[in-house]
Amino acid sequence: MHPAKSVIFFTTASGAGYGMMIWLGVLAALGEVYPDASLGIVTLGLAFALIVAGLLSSTLHLGRPERAWRALSQWRSSWLSREGLAAIIAFVPLGIFAFAWVVMGTNSGAAAMAGLAGAALSLLTLYCTAMIYASLRPIPAWHNGWTVAGYLVLGPMSGAVLLTAIFHLFGQSKPAAITSLLSLALLATGLLVKLAYWNLIRNEAPVSTAGTATGLGHLGKVEMTGSPHDNDNYLLREMGFRIARKHAEKLRTIAVALGFVLPFLCLLATIYLTGGLMPLLLSALATLSCAIGLAAERWLFFAEARHAVTLYYGEQAV
């Protein structure tokens, strides 16, 4: 599948934004973060900015962005519609939570309830995003449980890493210690999920073949000798993206090293190197590294996914 920048940005940015919201809601409900106004403005503001930027990016890549509101109508059948609705409904409790924190100076009681509701709806939105991909049968690399696990873990993971850096920036060592531990657990889980995912897509038996696509399999090997068109058409541009295996291997190494291993080591080091600027520098490095690693991971998620339509254009099995 064509790795469109808008969708890579949308899923990674809004994933991190929702991840931040989830942990802010949980920390507030546990009474583990003081409702400091400037801390609230930076954390909640950045989370909102990431979510909105992601949603805008995905809306602007539509052929008819002015009709985007229509996408909210088919929630009975469409995961894309459900994602849009969940995203918008989530803004209500998250807005109340942010207002209470920043303007009224409280994040406990009713505000914490709103925060928890917002956290649940954020997780639901991430689940809907995952299901958009996981429900597509013609793309076996997406049509599996590891796709869902990936989105559900990587969003909260990147959110926790980012929050850790901000807490250190504000000298909030107590919540930073909690999000550090959360980050370590999620980075380890995230790496396991992605390794399992890559293992699955590499070793999974093909679902469809050129033989079943044409129904000519009983005649032997099916090869295309004449294409309907000389130039790439929409189908090939959108779904016929092919990535060289050596590039995939390299990018996978980058995704593992920068997305998971380096942030894990940095945050592990903050437990021992507590003096001066070290925790802030290390957690900032973890955030930057995680962002680059996840961009590579998401690019691969699209680039490595092969679509059944390619079987009509020379691919032997997907």
Applying CB under 8 A, the residues found at the interface with other proteins are 1, 62-65, 67-68, 70-74, 76-81, 84, 132, 135-139, 207-208, 210, 212-216, 218-229, 231-235, 238-239, 307-309, 312-313
Computed from CA positions of residues 283, 289, 292, 294, in that sequence, does the dihedral angle turn out positive or negative? negative
* Closer by beta carbon to other proteins, 39 or else 148: 148
Angle at 13 between CA 10 and CA 14, to 5 degrees: 75
Taking the complex as a whole, the smallest distance from the CB of residue 278 to other proteins amounts, in Å, to: 46
> What sign does the dihedral 80-83-87-92 (CA atoms) show?
positive
**Minimum gap (Å) between residue 297 Cβ and other proteins:** 20
Dihedral sign of CA atoms 252, 257, 260, 261 in order: positive
Q: How many residues does the chain have?
A: 318
Cβ-contact 186, 160 below 8 angstroms:
yes
Q: Which is nearer to other proteins, 141 or 160 (CB)?
A: 141
- C-alpha 100/C-alpha 112 separation (Å) is 9
What is the distance between the alpha carbons of residues 243 and 304, in angstroms, rounded to a whole number?
A: 7
Q: Closest CB to other proteins among 239 and 262?
A: 239
For other proteins, the closer CB: 3 or 138: 138
Q: Closest separation between CB of residue 73 and other proteins, Å?
A: 6
Least Å from the CB of residue 110 to other proteins: 33
Q: Distance between alpha carbon 284 and the CA centroid of its chain, in Å? A: 20
List the structure tokens of 177: 């210690």
Minimum distance, C-beta of residue 188 to other proteins, in the bound complex (Å): 32
Q: Shortest gap between Cβ of 4 and other proteins (angstroms)?
A: 10
Q: How far is the CB of 318 from other proteins (least distance, A)?
A: 9
Looking at the Cβ atoms of 7 and 295, the one nearer to other proteins is 7
**Which CB sits closer to other proteins, 108 or 212?**
212
Residue 68, judged by CB atoms within 10 A of its CB (0-12, 13-18, 19+), counts as middle
How many whole angstroms from its chain centre is CA 124? 13
Minimum CB distance to other proteins smaller for 239 or for 258: 239
Which is closer to other proteins, CB of 207 or CB of 281? 207
Give the nearest distance from C-beta 7 to other proteins in angstroms.
10
Cα gap 86→128, rounded to integer Å: 8
